[in-house]
Amino acid sequence: MHKWIERYSLEIAWGAEYTEPMTQSIKWLQDEIAERMLQKLDIVKLEVKDVLLIPEFPGRYFSAFKKRFPGARIYGVYEGDLTGLDVLSFEALQVWRRLFQGSHSSPLSAYLKSGKLDLPDNSVDLIFCNLLLQDLADPAHFLQECWRTLKEGGLLTFSYLGPDTGKELRSLDASVLKLKNLLSPWDMHDMGDALVGKRFSDPVMDMEFLHLNYVSDVLLLADAQALKLLQTAPTKMPEKGLLPQKMTLEVVYGHAWAIGKHLAKAQDNVAYIDINQIGHKTR
């Protein structure tokens, strides 16, 4: 059953706008959204022993995550754009995990090449996917991989950028900026339908608009490039006054459960179960 919270979401988006100057790396946005995702998990009862973070990145959210799931074995899929001290601290963390947790991390590029998460079937209790799905050419296949790797009763929780992201830029003339669509321009209804199609149970979807104010065109263009909204970076700055001073982000949140994994895939609206899975009442 789809549990849409669209009315509530739109009241958040239009009734209490979130406004923040975007003057830092795009990692700030990942951190902010990760913390909001953790807040949404406060009402979810789930015993977590093994968790997959995708993408995994250094940030302030990580201490809150470990506090929320103490003792959990953490696997990660990391992006390849770490620099400086982030690289050193991340590599040290990987060594510690391999030695003391028996867990590991793998590069996102490996998944993009193979289409497989580097985890066995039924291996994690929670998949925490933060701002990734909009960059995947085939998000439905990613959902299928999540279903494969989640244990029975496991939870997929995610956030991604929806199709209204950067809508202020789309009103510009093509001679000012060369824009492109997100690889996966799914709204929350598309995602809810896809979750059901991949056999997830009880999907809950939510969304909000974040309105980012800018103090310079340089910062706006840097974020638009980081969010993959531009075909190419402009070779020269547009004339002053042509670019907007704010950019809207549509952030979609959701979670769904992996329940009934022993059932065969439904055909013609009928699900089949192996006879050995049927319990027998004994006197």
What DSSP designation does 267 have?
Answer: B
List residues bridging with 75 in a β-sheet: 52
Residue 244 has a pLDDT of: 93
Domain boundaries, the chain: 3-164+181-210+250-277
d(CA 239, CA 146): 46
CATH of domain 3-164+181-210+250-277: 3.40.50.150
Please tell me the distance from the alpha carbon of residue 275 to that of residue 273, in angstroms, as a whole number. 6
Which residues share a beta bridge with 251?
161, 208
Model pLDDT, residue 170 = 86
C-alpha to C-alpha distance for 78 and 110, rounded to whole angstroms: 10
Provide the pLDDT for residue 282: 45
Q: By C-alpha distance, which of 131, 150, 171, 141 is closest to 29?
A: 131
Q: What is the CA radius of gyration of the chain?
A: 21
> What pLDDT is attached to residue 95?
54
221: left (phi over 0), alpha (psi -120 to 50) or beta: alpha
d(CA 203, CA 259): 12
- 158 pairs with which residues across the strands? 129, 254
Give me the pLDDT at residue 165, please.
Answer: 94
Specify the DSSP element, H or E, that contains 127: strand 124-130
- pLDDT tens track of the chain, all 283 residues? 444 443 333 333 333 344 554 545 578 899 999 999 999 999 898 999 999 999 988 788 888 898 999 989 999 998 866 555 455 555 555 654 554 465 677 889 999 999 999 999 999 999 999 999 999 999 999 999 999 999 999 999 999 999 999 999 988 887 788 888 889 889 999 999 999 999 999 999 999 999 999 888 988 998 998 899 998 877 788 888 899 999 999 999 999 999 998 876 544 444 444 444 444 444 4
Q: And the tokens for 74?
A: 């953490």
pLDDT at 14: 34
